[in-house]
Amino acid sequence: MKIEGVVFDWAGTIIDFGSLAPMGAFVSLFSRHGVPISIDQARVPMGLPKLDHIRALGAMPEIGQAWRAAHGGQDFTDRDAQTLLLEFEPMSAEAAWQNRAFIPGFLNTYDWLKSRGIRVATTTGYTRRIMTPVIEYARALGFTPDAVICCDDVLRSRPDPMGMFACCEAMGLKPGAHIIKVDDTAPGIEEGRNAGCYTIGVAASGNAMGWSLSEWENGDPSKRKEALAVAEQRLRTAGADLVLASVADLPQAIERMEQAQGQYESSGSAA
């Protein structure tokens, strides 16, 4: 089986090592409304469209309780979530811009995919408003995917496969195992699986681990190994068919997949 297309996530997968941008924005957002939340809490719903992420945070018992304490006993409502999203978008856009750098090795991976005739598209849990300047920056550096499908470009975003289907259409391909979804979050992996595609998780660079590039490069080797193992297991539990450290490892993984499939087909023919 030849891989014909790859659909990448953005934050934590091809930009923003550690998926740091959304976390600070979510913490600041709720703090503005008298509700302290932790980075760990903010990471739990990561990968969902940002409105759904805010809803999920408000539904957490500890955060819901803190919201009621800060708002005269009123529960966190969908109207509150909609209001917070309006505040969140400019905060998140700034954070995304500040963390727009590509994951080390990604542009080399992109060039390799193009050299093999493999089509490339992307989905993201960010809204179009947040992503527009980042898309333009990426394009200036040579990254021109067939599509960038933001969460508000489709009726139902992750884990629904609508975004994947839109990417497949843009790439001129039918969904299936010949297309790989690469993501660092459970909803993103589910998005790929729900489209019937092969899924690859990236552990070191993403939300599952949450380390900055500096922490990854300079951290204690034993702690790094331990944290990486935990992140890899989270992605496997989410259903990833394969887990890599980062997108820099994707070309070798595709070569192994195609080689193994070729050997299987040769063996089957011989039989």
pLDDT in tens, 154-181: 999 999 999 999 999 999 999 999 999 9
Residue-by-residue DSSP string for 136-187: HHHHHTT---S-EE-GGGSSS-TTSTHHHHHHHHHHT---STTEEEEESSHH
* Structure-block tokens of residue 145: 């995917």
| Integer-rounded Cα radius of gyration of the chain | 19
What is the CB-side half-sphere exposure of residue 246 using CA atoms within 13 A? Answer: 27
Active site residues: 9, 50
Q: What is the pTM of this model?
A: 0.90
Proportion of the chain in helix, strand, coil states, percent, rounded to 5 = 55, 10, 35
- Whether the predicted pLDDT of 1 surpasses 80: no
Residues 6+ apart with CB under 8 A from 153: 128, 163, 166
Q: How confident is the model at residue 73 (pLDDT cuts 50, 70, 90)?
A: very high
Mean pLDDT over residues 140-159, rounded? 97
- Do 243 and 200 contact (CB within 8 A), yes or no? yes
Q: How confident is the model at residue 271 (pLDDT cuts 50, 70, 90)?
A: very low
- Do 47 and 185 contact (CB within 8 A), yes or no? yes
Mean pLDDT of the chain: 94
* Structure-block tokens of residue 19: 């998926």
The Cα 131–Cα 133 span in angstroms is 6
The pLDDT of residue 268: 57
Percentage of the chain modeled with pLDDT above 90: 93
- Whether the predicted pLDDT of 112 surpasses 90: yes
- Do 52 and 68 contact (CB within 8 A), yes or no? no
Mean pLDDT over residues 33-59, rounded? 94
- Whether the predicted pLDDT of 182 surpasses 50: yes
The pLDDT of residue 33: 97
